[in-house]
Amino acid sequence: MFRLGVLLLFFALFSSCHKKREVDASFYYWKTSYEASSIEDTWLDTLHSTRMYVRIMDIDISENGSAPVPISPVIFKDKIPARRELVPVVFIVNNVLKNRSHQQLSDLATKILFFVKGKVSQAGKNKIAELQIDCDWTKSTRENYFFLLTELKHKLSKQQTNLSATLRLHQLKNLIASGIPPVDRVMLMCYNMGNLRQYGDQNSILEQAELEKYIGKNIGNYPLPVDVGLPLFSWAVAFRKQAYIGIPKKITEVVLHDTALFKEIKPNRFLAKKDLPEYGLTINDELRWESVPIKQLQAAAVYIAQYLNTNKINMIYFHLDEQLLKKFSYEDLEKTTAIFR
């Protein structure tokens, strides 16, 4: 903690000697239903957020394997406030890109834009300034993915709409193998960097040592403007006989500390005391609780910010949710955002 305090002080003094970077803080909205929330709106207003990055849908292969289809599209039960810009985000499962002809990919681009337009209208917006595509492409799917992006970019340019794409840490580091997506800017996902399925004490959401293996000068030398995404979420990772079995969605930190259900065997490690079918667990299943304390989040921000060479970035937190935000204060995220200025 003392070391982080010194780093924050040093960074503040160092930054004061340079022109401040323009930082727009915002959130991802990653639920299947959008409903207005006064608490979530207050967070956005406090951080002076001018936009929301809203997941519109996943795209996966249909059950019969015949064609790409939208999965769990968001439903807008309320309109996005007029003061807030909507940035639609579409997640594409990597398998969708395999064995597709250019004509099929061009058709997919048209269908994506048609579907997004409908959802944008449902959200109460007439147009968008940016569309973001999220895909963990690989070397084998890179050519098709980049062709799809090129098609999207061409179609969006007629509407004066920018195209952005998410970027994983391995894609940042392995630039030659991964390639540079044909978009206007990228959003670097500074989370989910460890081996989730590995048994042990690591934190697969955010580990400073892992982060430093990938970023460094790679982020400053990247040939496109780079935005930064940081995690606010937490989860329980379950193991049975030291083999990964999943992430039980209903498990919270409060549930793990229920001594009638779980025994804490070491910090952030818990053992099921009996069969718990409501959570998909059996007796002696082990759970690792992973979260990102604010000090860890700020330490990551300090490290990343020193390598950025752009004078304007979008700082995006994953993700906007009342329950997640209870762990933080407005000041916590204001200070984290300020590190990038």
4 pLDDT above the threshold of 70: no
Q: Using CA atoms, how far apart are residues 206 and 204, in angstroms rounded to an integer?
A: 6
Q: Residue 234: what pLDDT? A: 97
Q: Residue 13: what pLDDT? A: 47
Give the phi and the psi of residue 20 in degrees, each rounded to 5: -70, 145
Report the percentage of the chain scoring pLDDT > 70: 94
Confidence band for 166, pLDDT divided at 50, 70 and 90: very high
Q: Residue 2: what pLDDT? A: 46
**Is the whole model's pTM more than 0.75, yes or no?**
yes
CB count in 10 Å sphere of residue 265: 11
207 pLDDT above the threshold of 70: yes
Q: Using CA atoms, how far apart are residues 294 and 337, in angstroms rounded to an integer?
A: 12
Domain ranges of the chain: 2-8+19-232+292-338, 240-279
CA atoms within a 13 Å half-sphere pointing along the CA-CB vector of 1: 2
pLDDT tens-digit map of 240-270:
999 999 999 899 999 999 999 999 999 999 9
Confidence band for 66, pLDDT divided at 50, 70 and 90: confident
Q: DSSP letters along 263-314, please?
A: EEEETTEEEESS-BGGGTB-TT-EEEEE---HHHHHHHHHHHHTT---SEEE
CATH topology assigned to domain 2-8+19-232+292-338: TIM Barrel (3.20.20)
Confidence band for 19, pLDDT divided at 50, 70 and 90: low
Q: What is the average pLDDT across 115-126?
A: 98
